[in-house]
Amino acid sequence: MSGAIPVVRERLLGLLPGRADWAAVRRSPRRDLLAGLTVAVVALPLALAFGVTSGLGAQAGLITAVIAGAVAAVFGGSNLQVSGPTGAMTVVLVPVVQQFGTTGVLMVGAMAGLVLIALAVARLGRYVRYLPTPVLEGFTAGIAVVIALQQVPAALGVSDAHGEKVWAVAFDAVARFVVHPKPAALAVALAVAALMLLGARWRPGLPFSLLGVGAATVFAEVIPVDLVRIGALPQGLPAPSLDFLDLDALGVLLPSALAVAALAALESLLSATVADGMTVGERHDPDRELFGQGLANLAAPLFGGIPATAAIARTAVNVRAGAASKLAALTHAVALAAIVLAAAPLVGRIPLAALAGVLLATTVRMVEAGSLWALARATRGDAVVLVLTFAVTVIWDLVAAVAVGVGVAVVLALRAVARSARLEQVPLEQGEHSAEEYALLTEHIVAYRLDGPLFFAAAHTFLLELSEVTDVRVVILRMSRVTTMDATGAHVLGDAIRRLRGRGITVLLSGITPAHDQVLATLGVADDLRRKGLVFPDTPAAIRYARVVALSTVGHPTVVPVD
């Protein structure tokens, strides 16, 4: 235990930013400042909308964008990431708010931060790269649908919709809207969404989300329509507080904290990977990115913010705006803080329907129909994983969707690998033997070459095939092409050898690699063959011995006792 403490300390120190991390700031600070301001304009309506959707209010979204955005920018492992509240995170937080209230959400965020820091110290960030693409695409498409369903009540002007799942709440909102329609809210939401989607095609560089929200706010002020507003916001950031801490609730909140941490890690590392792909020469440090997100989620609850993660949409805007260092993401957080201080009363007049329109447009942009269609047509297994992950995300929850998707993908991958394993009969070379002698040998000696993995998924098929060997005196098992062998495969091999020897067949092994030989020796498989000299370094030596055995037993079949 004492020896582990220096290792942890060393790893923590290695995760802290150094002078080299800020070297990029000096290259083009003006461009970074402009990129940060551009991202702030895009992030403002999203932060407000995600705060409202989470259930803690618009101010929580702004606080998260400011605090978590600044901390993650300084301590994260990417020069280009922009962090804050995201739609995927609000999907996880809504049931937490309903069950545990505001203090529960703050506790969950802080606990998730500690989990992320532990993952960073354990250097687990690099393993996200192994997630299958169909899982990621199905997960993203499912999140988009869930976020869209979350906006249905606000877009329809319904404030009292109920349901245990997000789709149930959306259906209830539609039913209430049919009875008491509020066309103004629906018109505002659709207009803002249409402006964002059409404007992005016309002039991609303009912040149409902010323009749409501004126009909707002016419309609501000038024309007397029934639109629900954000409401009063605090003019400034609240003082940090630990009043939300409740140590007695740790056990109850742990599953939710693990779900939040898993989602934060997944989304942040995916976002960093996307950012790397959009640039030349940029490579993020996955463990440091987890560390930065962990500190951000520790800091945000102190000020009343919700759990945060890196945002792919805002990160992409940051890259396209020309960002080259952490200064851009930090500028985005400072600019949002200035807006909170200077324009809180104006922001409070924004209609909720306008924010719903922003998120509806965002969900449309999240889904790449061409990519989904290509994956669905790639292989049947990919299609199954994609559809299953998507369905579980929408119907159940995000963490379960990733678990189910990865689980099914692993099963299908093992199935494909198992099918690649072959047990192939190999003809014996005639050499200098006469035709009669060769006919005799080939009638009573069979050589099998094992190709591919011999592990739990393929072992039983191997046993069934080998058990069908008939009318032979000697079986040579050529092991040189076995790529993988686990305990199950070794035991099944031993079982096959015992069955063949029980039928009077001599079994010879050849070409066992040192790694596989160690597995067999450790488990005691084929020990009797070793003692009797029936394990050979190569196949020619085994064939020579087999011919001697076959000739000596012609007309005198014997049953070899099995130890």
Judged against a pLDDT cut of 90, whether residue 294 lies above it is answered with yes
Per-residue model confidence as pLDDT tens digits over 234-278 = 777 888 889 888 888 888 999 889 889 988 888 888 778 777 776
**Lowest mean per-residue pLDDT among 17-31, 279-293, 345-359, 410-424:** 410-424
Per-residue model confidence as pLDDT tens digits over 36-57: 887 887 788 888 888 887 888 8
In this structure, the answer to whether residues 439 and 410 fall within a common structural domain is no
Return the CATH number at 476. Answer: 3.30.750.24
Are 322 and 234 contained in the same domain?
yes
Query: Of the given ranges (26-40, 130-144, 239-253), which has the lowest mean pLDDT?
Result: 130-144
The pLDDT of residue 278 = 65
Q: For the chain, give the mean pLDDT.
A: 81
Q: Are residues 454 and 377 in the same domain?
A: no
Question: CA–CA separation, 118 vs 465, rounded Å?
Answer: 48
Three-class DSSP category at 510: strand
Pair 335, 202 in one domain: yes
Which of 416, 450, 470 is the last residue in one of the domains? 416
Task: Report yes or no on 173 lying in a domain.
Answer: yes
The enclosing H or E element of 374 equals: helix 369-378
Task: Between 88 and 334, name the one with better pLDDT.
Answer: 334
Of the two residues 459 and 93, the one the predictor is more confident about is: 93
Q: Which strand (E) or helix (H) includes residue 560?
A: none
Residue 562 has pLDDT above 50, yes or no: no
At 314-363, the pLDDT tens digits run: 887 788 777 888 999 999 999 989 887 787 788 788 888 888 888 788 77
The label of the residue with tokens 């001599």 reads 506
**Residue 561 belongs to some domain of the structure:** no
Q: Could you tell me what percent of the chain has a pLDDT over 90?
A: 15
Tell me whether residue 22 is in a domain. no
Domain presence at residue 20: no
151 with 195, same domain? yes
Q: Are residues 236 and 384 located together in one domain of the fold?
A: yes
Q: Which of 133, 147, 137 is nearest to 369 (CA)?
A: 137
- Confidence band, pLDDT 50/70/90 cuts, at residue 434: very low
Is the pTM higher than 0.85?
Answer: no
Number of domains in the chain: 2
Q: What 3-state DSSP class applies to 56?
A: coil
The answer to whether position 448 is within a domain reads yes
Whether 402 and 468 share a structural domain: no
Position 10 pLDDT exceeds 80: no
Residue range(s) defining the domain that contains residue 113: 27-416
Q: How far apart are CA 488 and CA 497, in angstroms?
A: 14
Q: Are residues 233 and 196 in the same domain?
A: yes
Residues 452 and 434: their CA atoms lie apart, in Å, by 35
What pLDDT was estimated at residue 304? 92
Same domain, 547 and 410: no
489 burial (CB, 10 Å; 0-12 / 13-18 / 19+) is buried
Q: From 416, 448, 474, give the residue that closes a domain.
A: 416
How does residue 553 score in pLDDT terms, banded at 50, 70 and 90?
Answer: low
Q: Is residue 429 part of a domain?
A: no
Query: Which of 416, 443, 469 represents a domain boundary (last residue)?
Result: 416
Residue-wise pLDDT for 471-486, tens only, equals: 778 888 888 888 877 7
Residue listed under structure tokens 């092409």: 481
- Helix, strand, or coil here: 469? coil
Residues 482 and 542 in one domain: yes
Question: What number is the average pLDDT over the span 513-517?
Answer: 85
Q: What is the mean pLDDT of residues 163-187?
A: 85
| Same domain as 518, residue 373 | no
Report whether pLDDT(219) > 70.
yes
12 domain-assigned = no
Would 78 be classed as within a structural domain?
A: yes
Q: How many helices (H) and strands (E) does the chain have?
A: 22, 8
- 91 and 189 fall within a common domain: yes
- How confident is residue 72, by pLDDT bands cut at 50, 70 and 90? very high
